[in-house]
């Protein structure tokens, strides 16, 4: 997993962000998904399905409780400069729903330390460097082994 720095204006709905929230989570940063941005109306009437600005959102990444229990219903408007965040493991997530009495559960966008990069982006970008490094290591090892076997010192 790679986290890249982003400015407040670069944060989008659906991003998974690393965020620090003073007074929450033992002051440790946490990973959560951005559901609502400043000005958005976020609601869940049944504690399961989420709508943003009246439109239901598709969340294939969400882990549901196999026993079918739902979280609390909520209906909030996210204050400007703030974010409404939910965990992907909803049955156990300690997210914006847990702090609805504090600015609608939102967190300051300025608390975002970075965005999680999509899987596969880093390995594909680094693959040529890894391959070249492995090649150099093999050449170096091969040279050292040959010199040692023939009694020659490099």
Indicate the length of the chain as a whole number: 154
pLDDT tens, residue by residue, 86-121: 999 988 888 999 999 989 999 999 999 999 987 654
Q: Judge contact between 42 and 85, C-beta under 8 A.
A: no
Contacting residues for 13 by C-beta, under 8 A, at least 6 apart: 34, 35, 36, 37, 40, 52, 57
pLDDT tens, residue by residue, 52-72: 999 999 999 998 777 767 778
Question: Could you give the percent of the chain with pLDDT greater than 70?
Answer: 75
pLDDT of residue 154: 53
Dihedral of the CA atoms 142, 145, 149, 152 (nearest 10)? 90
Q: Judge contact between 89 and 61, C-beta under 8 A.
A: no
| Helix/strand/coil for 150 | coil
Contacting residues for 74 by C-beta, under 8 A, at least 6 apart: 42, 43, 44, 47, 97, 100, 105
d(CA 51, CA 37): 13
Q: In angstroms, what is the C-alpha Rg of the chain?
A: 23
Encoded tokens for 146: 């040959």
pLDDT of residue 21: 86
Dihedral of the CA atoms 70, 47, 12, 85 (nearest 10)? -70
pLDDT of residue 68: 67
Q: Judge contact between 49 and 56, C-beta under 8 A.
A: yes
Average pLDDT over residues 119-140: 47
């Amino acid at each position: 997993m790679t986290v890249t720095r982003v400015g407040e204006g670069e944060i989008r709905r659906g991003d998974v962000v690393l965020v620090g929230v003073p007074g929450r989570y033992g002051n440790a940063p946490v990973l959560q998904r951005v559901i609502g941005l400043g000005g958005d109306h976020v609601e869940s009437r049944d504690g399961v399905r989420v709508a943003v600005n009246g439109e239901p959102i598709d969340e294939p990444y969400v882990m549901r409780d196999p026993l079918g229990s739902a979280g609390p219903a909520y209906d909030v408007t996210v204050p400007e400069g703030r974010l409404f965040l939910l965990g992907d493991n909803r049955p156990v997530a300690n997210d914006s729903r847990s702090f609805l009495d504090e600015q609608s559960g939102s967190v300051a966008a300025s608390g975002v330390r970075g965005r999680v990069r999509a899987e596969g982006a880093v390995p594909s970008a680094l693959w040529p460097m890894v391959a070249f490094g492995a090649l150099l290591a093999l050449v170096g090892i091969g040279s050292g082994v040959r010199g040692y076997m023939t009694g020659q010192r490099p």
